[in-house]
Structure 1
Amino acid sequence: NSKPKDTQQSMCTPVCLGASGMVHVLLREELLLKEHILKTIILGQMLSLFICGTAVTSQYLAEQYQVNTPMFQSFINYSLLLLVYTTMLAFRTGSDSLWQILKQRWWKYIFLGLADVEANYMIVKAYQYTTLTSVQLLDCFGIPVLMALSWFILRARYRLIHFLAVAVCLLGVGTMVGADILAGRQDSEGSDVVIGDVLVLLGASLYAISNVSEEYIVKNLSRVEFLGMVGLFGTIISGLQLAIVEHREIMRIQWNWKIALLFTAFALCMFGLYSFMPVVIKVTSATSVNLGILTADLYSLFFGLFLFFYKFSGLYILSFVIIMVGFILYCSTPTRTAEPTALPQPGSTGLDNAALKLEENDSETPAITVQFTRGEAVVVSTD
């Protein structure tokens, strides 16, 4: 009687171990997902703090010292990127050296630098024509544009929960705008609302183009290449535009150590934002990052309570919570990437030795190699 019992126990052991192993794998995946969401939240809020720093220093320069030089401030940032990252590329050798990158992709980076420079300029310029409320609302137009570009260019595929998460985040932005109106921060009607709104929409679209390009370059090439090329062409483009549109404003600046300190703080925050954002995008995605930095306006508001004596409203806390709920909801389910569906055609003229690898979700499924020879498909090996 003991022998069948031993046999039954030996047969049960692999099953029991398999079940416990499966539970262990599921628990480990759940833990990794929670760690990923927490990391994404922390990284996103660090970017928001950098943006908050640029907004507060710019506003302080404008209100306390009547200094409005967005292009000059951008020029300083691009110059820092040039000095650090373009110099790093200059010391590289081989296929990823500065000369090879310029030789192969120079015209693409000209368009990328132009989009990035003009996106920064248009958003800041829009404040002169339209209201703060319009800028905050219309700036969110970049998120659906970003998702559409990611769908077609990066082949990102979203689920229903992602669209719901974006809707929740935009609801949080609407709550924040409502709090601004109740607190009296909607400002005047602006000199020309239509021009200002168009500038915001164009700037948001250019930001989307820049962010999608950044995600592609960071994940397929390198972070240093992106920052080095943006620094190079951004410096050239912003320098030319600076000489045309802002040379008089710079001449009117009454320089002192406080103004110099504010310019330095702005430059360091912007440099930190540009240097750190590719790291976050590589871990997450451009869409996730743009949802996370929606809280930047709220951080600016909290600083404004002490620096500019803004009125506080409980709706600001509510809007922060809503945005974070939507952001966590978006990160809770990863997007998937669509695989290319084009297969080699065996009917082509001449020899066509193309190996086709069939990828299956189950890693234990044997891989089959198929060789096409003069229009005939023959299985040559099975792993």
Structure 2
Amino acid sequence: MDSFSGKSATNQQVLPTDDRKLATSSESSPVTHGPPEIIGVLDESRAGGGTAIDEIEETKTGWFAYFTTRNFWIVLVLGQVLALCITSTNTFSSLLVNEGTSIPAFQTFFNYLLLNIGYTSYTLYRYGFKKWCHLIYKDGWKYFILSFLDVEGNYFFVLAYRYVSRSLPRCETRQGELIVQWQTSILSAQLINFWAIVLVVVISFFFLHVRYHPTQVAGILICIGGFGILLASDHITGATNFGPISRGNQIKGDLFALLGATFYGMSNVAEEFLVSKRPLYEVVGQLGFWGMLINGTQAGIFDRTPFRKATWNGKVGGYLAGYTLILTLFYSLAPLMFRLASAAFLNISLLTGNFWGVAIGVKVFGYSIHWMYPIAFVCIIGGLIIYFLGKRVLGEARKPWLGQNQEGGVNGIGTARRRAENRDALV
């Protein structure tokens, strides 16, 4: 993963501008792209050999230090917002399949288009066209790889819904209780999420040199245990009875979902690395720019026949619009999670997605759920809290690959460096 790095060795280097302000000094050192800004405010020669980051983390100590910070509550709530976003996009994907429309590449094209229009336009405004072109020339390959991983993750996961649809449930009454039976294998489709978690943890450990505290490992295992309770409740109620889905289609759907989760895991770690070193608008803008080109090419090659066979009506248009808007919101919020926490925490936060999906069904459609569902949800949330037990006040915002004083990172919203240079920063 070090190949993604554009690092240098000292604090007196020219570093990326933060996400908020333009550098206007004509005396700034030349840079390869982006508005230049020399930052040398972090003095590592302080008495006692400490750093500004160390001083911040020593303001509060103990097992519960991170729980007393604003950032803990932000990442906890943000994780659930992102889980709701994923639940919603999964629902729209299934609704499209149930309408007879399965166009996995075309379906996500508009998400990348919106990201490109919004974030690339702002990047051009900040950098200017010449420096933006130099960015493409110098760092475009990094963002191309990130975008390829992300596009393929979306493509294969949406493609899985062609074979296994899980949004629309079958309902039946058993002993006076309305039971919801989802038309998929929760065991096969959702346990694949565990593979993404394992992949993210392994890649982060070996390539980004992240070292996990025992409480973090315990938190991950407790979250998985909570999801096990969810699966047990589905088995008890018969919700894992997959109805008319053939074994062949089930296997195809599982394999495509597994492949999608693999690409997702790799793209999550790559994006966490990049947003820690570069402005958020640059990373998301490049993701949209390259993603639009890759996704558009893929749609033109693979979606021509499905596009002609697809059903087109008002419902399909509404589902596509809903899917695009919610996915764009997810892509706008996820980088903040990567800065404040990590790709691993994002993925374990998404385990509550099934609970939120059923909870929405209870409210909107009057569904009844098994009593073990709330227990599973509480268990997962408890695991998320235990994950940060023993963490210092900066939590996972302090990235090990950015240096002792985060000198290799960007001063932007959600970063530890921002806190070091602006103690009063809200986030």
**Higher RCO (CA 8 Å, separation ≥ 6 residues):** 2
| 1:105-144 alignment, distance < 5 Å | 105-129=139-163, 131-144=185-198
Structure 2 CA distance for aligned equivalents of residues 330 and 233 of structure 1: 34
Instruction: Give the number of the structure whose alpha-carbon radius of gyration is greater.
Output: 1
Q: 1:92 aligns with which of 105, 119, 126?
A: 126
Moved more, 258-267 or 223-232: 258-267
Structure 2 CA distance for aligned equivalents of residues 249 and 340 of structure 1: 45
1:225 deviation in Å?
A: 1.6
Q: 2:67 aligns with which of 15, 30, 33?
A: 33
Cα gap change, 1:155/1:28 in structure 2, threshold over 3 Å: closer, same or farther? closer
Residue 191 of structure 2: SS of its match in structure 1?
A: helix
Compute the TM-score of the two structures, normalised by the length of structure 2.
0.67
Structure 1 CA distance for aligned equivalents of residues 128 and 106 of structure 2: 35
Residues 1:56 and 2:91 aligned together: yes
Structure 1 CA distance for aligned equivalents of residues 162 and 224 of structure 2: 24
Partner of 2:377: 320
Structure 2 CA distance for aligned equivalents of residues 206 and 51 of structure 1: 16
Q: 2:136 aligns with which of 73, 92, 102?
A: 102
Partner of 2:32: none
Structure 2 CA distance for aligned equivalents of residues 51 and 315 of structure 1: 22
Structure 1 CA distance for aligned equivalents of residues 253 and 266 of structure 2: 20
| 1:144-183 alignment, distance < 5 Å | 144-183=198-237
Residue 276 of structure 2: SS of its match in structure 1?
A: helix
Residue 43 of structure 1: SS of its match in structure 2?
A: helix
Cα gap change, 1:87/1:340 in structure 2, threshold over 3 Å: closer, same or farther? closer
Partner of 1:287: 344
Structure 2 CA distance for aligned equivalents of residues 288 and 259 of structure 1: 33
Contact 2:102/2:159 (<8 A) preserved: no
Partner of 1:216: 273
Identity of aligned residues (%): 29
1:94 deviation in Å?
A: 6.8
Partner of 1:184: 238
Structure 2 CA distance for aligned equivalents of residues 152 and 310 of structure 1: 45
Residues 1:78 and 2:135 aligned together: no
For 2:198, give the aligned amino acid.
P
Structure 2 CA distance for aligned equivalents of residues 92 and 25 of structure 1: 36
Residue 185 of structure 1: SS of its match in structure 2?
A: coil
Contact 2:215/2:387 (<8 A) preserved: yes
| Runs of 5+ unmatched residues, structure 2 | 1-57, 165-184, 404-427
1:207 deviation in Å?
A: 1.0
Cα gap change, 1:310/1:245 in structure 2, threshold over 3 Å: closer, same or farther? farther
Contact 1:173/1:294 (<8 A) preserved: yes
Contact 2:85/2:326 (<8 A) preserved: yes
Structure 2 CA distance for aligned equivalents of residues 270 and 286 of structure 1: 17
Structure 1 CA distance for aligned equivalents of residues 60 and 196 of structure 2: 36
Moved more, 140-149 or 175-184: 175-184
Cα gap change, 1:207/1:69 in structure 2, threshold over 3 Å: closer, same or farther? same
Contact 1:70/1:124 (<8 A) preserved: yes
Aligned length: 317
Contact 1:61/1:262 (<8 A) preserved: yes
Structure 2 CA distance for aligned equivalents of residues 71 and 246 of structure 1: 7
1:235 deviation in Å?
A: 0.8
Cα gap change, 1:277/1:305 in structure 2, threshold over 3 Å: closer, same or farther? same
Partner of 1:360: none
Contact 1:44/1:293 (<8 A) preserved: yes
1:305 deviation in Å?
A: 4.0
1:317 deviation in Å?
A: 1.3
For 2:354, give the aligned amino acid.
D
Cα gap change, 1:78/1:308 in structure 2, threshold over 3 Å: closer, same or farther? farther
Structure 2 CA distance for aligned equivalents of residues 257 and 340 of structure 1: 49
Structure 1 CA distance for aligned equivalents of residues 310 and 217 of structure 2: 46
For 1:157, give the aligned amino acid.
R
Compute the TM-score of the two structures, normalised by the length of structure 1.
0.74
Partner of 1:203: 260
Residue 67 of structure 1: SS of its match in structure 2?
A: coil
Structure 1 CA distance for aligned equivalents of residues 399 and 126 of structure 2: 32
Q: 1:331 aligns with which of 388, 402, 415?
A: 388
Cα gap change, 1:162/1:196 in structure 2, threshold over 3 Å: closer, same or farther? same
Partner of 1:369: none
For 1:182, give the aligned amino acid.
I
Structure 1 CA distance for aligned equivalents of residues 74 and 381 of structure 2: 13
For 2:220, give the aligned amino acid.
V
